[in-house]
Chain A
Amino acid sequence: MSGAYRQVRFLVLGQAITETWRVCFFGGLIAGSLLAAILRGGPNFTLGYGNLAAVLPLALLVPTLFAGGILIGFGSRWAEAVLRDTV
């Protein structure tokens, strides 16, 4: 999954994609989750975020989620082979 994000980043930045199948997987995941939401009566659009939104105002929630995402992305690349022979 982490590799799919990387390939999509290459695509968005106009760089060479080395694994096209990962981009297809990325697109498929979006389509599949949308299909599940539609079958459940359509996406229920909200600015809420479960219990986290109950303790954090939106102005704090957004940077918190972004920071959480940064850690997820950073950690996933750290654990991958990108670091082989480097760190």
Chain B
Amino acid sequence: MRGASLGIGIGFGFFLAAARLTDYDVIHNMLLLREPDLFLFFGAAVGTALPLLWLLERSKRATVFGGALQVTREGVQRKHVAGALVFGTGWAIAGACPGTALAMPMTGNILGVFVIAGIFGGQWMREAVVARLVRLRALAAQI
């Protein structure tokens, strides 16, 4: 399983860098709808993954994780919308997502390390907020 994850990671990182998704201007132009070809790139990824996942789930074949594939289905919830809004704002500012940010320094874009550091910090902050809310709710329940 670790080998498969490593291999898939290598392939993913290779294509992110080869497609120049590590370039701020490429992402910025895409978000400004100046480079619509990138939407075809994303569409191709979804168009490939969707039928494969459907087939894998339907066949009930054991995956490298040991069991049959079970795709989790969730309706749109408040957390998805709120998270997407915050994530998208960061994406527009930095011109990167968690994957491309990681590939940036490898292609020579040194400042990508600050985006990576921010992502680690942002995740930690969100978990700290949740932990505090849980504590507050527990306190409120005792009162």
Contacts and interface: CB of A to CB of B under 8 A. Distances in A.
Contact of B5 (A21, A46, A78): A21
Contacts of B52: none
B114 A72 contact: no
Contact of B17 (A37, A69, A80): A37
A79 B90 CA distance: 14
Interface string B1-31: 1111111111111111110001111001000
A87 to B, nearest CB: 6
Contacts of B117: 66, 69
Nearest to B2: A24
Interface stretch (B43-51, B53-61, B97-105): B97-105
Contacts of B24: 49-52
A26 B9 contact: yes
B56 to A, nearest CB: 17
B114 A9 contact: no
Contacts of A80: 79, 83
Contacts of A24: 2-3, 5-6, 9
B62 interface: no
B97 A25 contact: no
Interface in B84-113: 84-99, 101-103, 106-112
B80 interface: yes
Q: Taking each of A48, A62, A69, A75, which has the highest tally of chain B beta carbons within 10 Å of its own beta carbon?
A: A69
Interface string A46-87: 111111100000000110111111111111111110110011
Contacts of B65: 21
B9 A72 contact: no
Contacts of B115: 65-66, 68-69, 72
Contact of A32 (B1, B13, B92): B13
A85 to B, nearest CB: 9
Given A24-B6, A28-B6, A35-B13, 13 more contacts: A25-B6, A27-B9, A33-B13, A36-B13, A48-B109, A50-B25, A69-B122, A70-B122, A72-B101, A75-B90, A76-B83, A79-B79, A79-B82
